[in-house]
């Protein structure tokens, strides 16, 4: 047998957070325990029937059984452009400035390969969605952390970036509404980002996967509502959370045509695009956006209120998030993030995500996902009260 030696890039990667959580959850269930899963952000609400029907019709058409075109289905790109204009009032050319993705995660994972050379630097928020870091490492880039702190409302301090390395920075990841912190931003923050990026010749990659999950009247802005953003930015959108389509793997990138074309060149050499039938389902989803969102947001808002009110009733200092379906909470002072997540699993049969799994600046926090119904959330609060307080 030959000696199997993993590449240096793989050796640099920590175990992928959600795979490790899934292993612990699976083990607990095999032991017959009643697990309440507030860990991975995977909606429990089914995909709407009208989207499933659209997939069914398209899947029966042999024309959709072939390799997708490099640019994907024209009708899907056109619908993305219509949706973006209706939502944000910004026009994009569907043939040059919009590109379909096999989920936004895939686009995020590939884009550093288009623009980052070994030794280049990438600005990455911390805590963050793990692929920002892994994709940088795969491209041979060096991660420069931008700490997200509560005192700054979990927004990065651009002025604190080391000016000595700015000439090496090729790319910056940002993400609002934010995973894992649930923080939101306004257009003034995007203005600062665009100004900073233009000054230092940095590509901005904005992950907008949670843009449609807003509560209490909050509607997340797009970076492209800011003047100059088209000169520096690309934005990643996902149908996963908006339409409960996580397993379908469909999203799109929108932005500067040269940045989009760089991503497209990488993808054309790596994958063959999203199944045409799923893109037709995406067309149906975007066309019926208003039909879907109101009822879904009401469900998540009610769940948010049950969890936060319950934790506050136990003396926790936790705020109601304005967006996403996550609650980002301080762990009790006697615990680390990992130790508290272990206590929740072992003593309460609750799966939650330790904050340090998203980066060292997530230490001291835990993330709860609102992906079970209100009855189960109430049960989770009861278990914490009875078994940990």
Spell out the domain ranges in the chain: 8-46+292-388, 49-290
8-46+292-388 and 49-290: identical CATH topology: no
Q: What angle do CA 267, 272, 273 make, to 5 degrees?
A: 80
- Find the largest Cα–Cα distance for the chain: 62
pLDDT of residue 17: 65
**List of residues 6+ apart from 84 with CB closer than 8 A:** 90, 91, 92, 98, 222, 254
Fold of domain 49-290: 3.40.640
Is the peptide bond prior to 76 cis by the omega test (within 30 degrees of 0)?
no
DSSP class of residue 46 equals P
Tell me if residue 124 falls in helix, strand or coil.
strand
φ, ψ of residue 6 to 5 degrees: the values are -75, 155
In DSSP terms, 253 is beta-bridged to 99, 236
Distance CA 338, CA 344 (A): 10
The pTM score is: 0.95
pLDDT of residue 81: 98
Indicate the CATH number for domain 8-46+292-388.
Answer: 3.90.1150.10
Distance CA 389, CA 384 (A): 7
**List of residues 6+ apart from 175 with CB closer than 8 A:** 125, 128, 129, 132, 206, 207, 208, 209
Distance CA 121, CA 11 (A): 19
258: number of Cβ within 10 Å: 13
213: number of Cβ within 10 Å: 24
Q: What angle do CA 25, 26, 30 make, to 5 degrees?
A: 120
Distance CA 198, CA 106 (A): 26
pLDDT of residue 293: 85
> What does the pLDDT profile of the chain (389 residues) look like in tens digits?
888 988 988 888 877 666 777 777 788 788 888 999 999 889 999 999 999 999 999 999 999 999 998 799 999 999 999 999 999 999 999 999 999 999 999 999 999 999 999 999 999 999 999 999 999 999 999 999 999 999 999 999 999 999 999 999 999 999 999 999 999 999 999 999 999 999 999 999 999 999 999 999 999 999 999 999 999 999 999 999 999 999 999 999 999 999 999 999 999 999 999 999 999 999 999 999 888 788 899 999 999 999 999 999 999 999 999 999 999 999 998 999 999 999 999 999 999 999 999 999 999 999 999 999 999 999 999 999 999 87
């Amino acid at each position: 047998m030959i000696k199997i030696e993993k590449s240096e890039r793989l050796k640099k990667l920590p175990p992928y957070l959600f795979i490790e959580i899934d292993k612990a959850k699976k083990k607990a269930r095999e032991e017959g325990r009643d697990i309440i899963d507030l860990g991975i952000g995977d909606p429990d609400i089914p995909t709407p029937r009208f989207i499933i029907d659209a997939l069914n019709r398209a899947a029966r058409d042999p024309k959709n059984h072939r390799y997708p075109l490099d640019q994907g289905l024209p009708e899907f790109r056109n619908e993305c452009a219509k949706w973006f204009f209706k939502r944000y009032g910004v026009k994009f050319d569907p043939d040059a400035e919009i590109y379909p993705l096999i989920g936004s995660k895939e686009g995020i994972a590939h884009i550093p390969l288009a623009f980052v050379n070994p030794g280049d630097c990438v600005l990455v928020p911390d805590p963050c969605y793990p692929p920002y870091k892994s994709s940088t490492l795969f491209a041979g880039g060096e991660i420069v952390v931008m700490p997200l702190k509560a005192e700054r409302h979990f927004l990065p301090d651009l002025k604190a970036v080391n000016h000595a390395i700015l000439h090496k920075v090729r790319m910056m990841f940002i993400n609002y509404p934010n995973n894992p912190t649930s923080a939101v931003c306004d257009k003034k923050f995007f203005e600062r980002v665009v100004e900073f990026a233009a000054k230092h010749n940095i590509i901005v990659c904005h992950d907008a996967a949670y843009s449609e999950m807003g509560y209490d009247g909050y509607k997340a802005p797009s970076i492209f509502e800011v003047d100059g953003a088209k000169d520096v930015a690309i934005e990643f959108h996902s149908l996963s959370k908006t339409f409960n389509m996580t397993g379908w793997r469909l999203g799109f990138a929108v932005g500067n045509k040269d940045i989009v074309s760089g991503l497209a060149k990488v993808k054309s050499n790596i994958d063959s695009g999203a199944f045409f039938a799923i893109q037709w389902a995406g067309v149906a989803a975007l066309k019926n956006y208003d039909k879907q969102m109101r009822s879904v947001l009401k469900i998540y808002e009610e769940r948010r209120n049950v969890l936060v009110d319950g934790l506050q009733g136990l003396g926790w200092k936790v705020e109601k998030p304005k967006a996403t379906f996550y609650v980002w909470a301080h762990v009790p002072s006697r615990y680390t993030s990992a130790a508290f997540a272990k206590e929740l699993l072992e003593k309460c049969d609750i799966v939650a995500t330790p904050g340090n799994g998203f980066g060292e600046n997530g230490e001291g926090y835990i993330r709860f996902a609102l992906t079970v119904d209100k009855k189960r959330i109430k049960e989770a609060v009861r278990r914490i009260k009875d078994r940990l307080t």
